[in-house]
Chain A
Amino acid sequence: MAKLLVADDLVPIRQMVRITLSTQGWTIVEAKNGNEALALVRSEKPDLVLLDVDMGPGPNGFDVCRQIKADEATKDIPVVMLTAHESDSDRAIGFAAGATQYLTKPFGPLELIDTIRGILAHS
């Protein structure tokens, strides 16, 4: 069973993601900021990481993504950005940081599930 990490500073968003993804039988690990996310990526070795961009103090989602991709031990973990930043330039930053997919808020539950399912099927 796949294990997923979701990093977002907002509790309701984390809850929504957790409830949505748990319908697929996946295990969800939650982080409330960039530093927590990085620590959990290393300790939990999730199969996929969902990253918000603005998560208060500490590294933002783009930074976290770059660090995951820079670490030999975690660079193969696919990253999906999940953010309200919807401009093309932000997308470009996300993909340049190494994200596999870029979803914008508000996101739909089916969109979220389908995206993750597609990525997990390919990895």
Chain B
Amino acid sequence: MSSDDTKQMVETVEMSPRAPLTAQDGGGPDVFRQLLHQAVRVADLANAQAMRMALDFAKVYEREQGVRKEFETQLHQMTLMEKQAGRYAEDLAQMLRTERERRQELERALEQERIANEELRRTGLQGISHLLLAATLKDRTTGEHLLRVRRYVEAIAERLGLPGALVEEFGYSSVMHDVGKIHTPDHILQAEHHLSDAEFDVIKQHCIDGETMLGEARFFETARGIAREHHERWDGKGYPDGKKGEEISLAARIVSVADVFDALTSKRPYKDAWSAQAGLEAIEKAAGERFDPEVVAAFVALSSEGIVEKIRSEVAAGSTAQSESRAT
């Protein structure tokens, strides 16, 4: 059915079906025909109307279906995304948990390592103090020498602006600079005559022996450098390797100054003790030749502030107090 037909029928229904009936009231078969005709028209009309409504309904239904399908698709996608997001969140939460556990484990391991390190350090330091005690018991001179050298070294390192941990490490490591001498025969160590070449070779060996004796541990790394290099010279004329300038470790360059200064200002079998002033002048003169000029400058500064003198008197008083307390 075309839309024109529909339109016409809809218009037709607006005309009153009774109008022609009243006009020809009382007619015979004509009336019947007319009535029949009228009934057919009304039926046609009703049919068309039903058709029209069905069409309209179909259109609306189709549209509704479309909208519904669209919503269903969107709903489906949203459900999918919701699941997807949930899965991601779960995974991420799991990752964070694992990460946290791993970090805690790492922290525990670090803490244990720190404790182990601390213990190792304590053991090392204890070993060193035993060494110092052994040296002091053998003869007081050596013990005091080591104490003063350590204090000088720490003061110089601090003056050079090194961090506290390094100052401490340089200090305790300096105590072992001559451990290699344990192998050097006493008659050469205490010789009052000028050493022969052969004897001097034996003396040189103490640097190498010292480094070897201090093993492989990280704790003694600085000490090994000091033992090996504390007789090297800034100008390269030292022993045992003839290293020069900054080839020599800073710790060894510092110990060298402290060791020589203390040797000069102490009494030895072959010489009297020099005054602090004379010792300092000798050190200053050797700056840039035997010694690192920066280390010498730091030491001179310490001396002018009276710190060198203070260390000397404190170590002397300390060891006197110690020997007195041992005597009582």
Task: Show the binding face of A for B, using Cβ within 8 Å.
Answer: 10, 12-13, 16, 84, 105-111
Contact = CB atoms under 8 A, between A and B. Distances in A.
A106 B83 contact: yes
Nearest to A10: B77
Nearest to B90: A108
A79 B125 CA distance: 64
Given A106-B86, A109-B91, 7 more contacts: A105-B80, A105-B84, A108-B87, A108-B90, A109-B88, A109-B92, A110-B95
Which bucket holds chain B's interface residue count?
10 to 19
A96 B83 CA distance: 28
Interface in B6-58: none
A108 B80 contact: no
B81 interface: yes
B109 to A, nearest CB: 25
B88 A108 contact: yes
A15 to B, nearest CB: 11
Given A10-B81, A12-B81, A106 B87 contact: yes
Interface in B122-165: none
A68 B305 CA distance: 85
A13 B83 CA distance: 11
11 contacts: A10-B77, A13-B84, A84-B80, A105-B80, A106-B87, A107-B84, A108-B88, A108-B91, A109-B88, A109-B92, A110-B91
Nearest to B81: A12
B81 A107 contact: no
Nearest to A109: B91
Contacts of B83: 105-106
Contacts of B86: 106
B267 to A, nearest CB: 72
Contacts of A13: 80-81, 84
A97 to B, nearest CB: 22
Contacts of A111: 91
Contacts of A16: 84, 88
A15 B83 CA distance: 15
Contacts of A105: 80, 83-84
B98 to A, nearest CB: 10
Contacts of A10: 77, 80-81
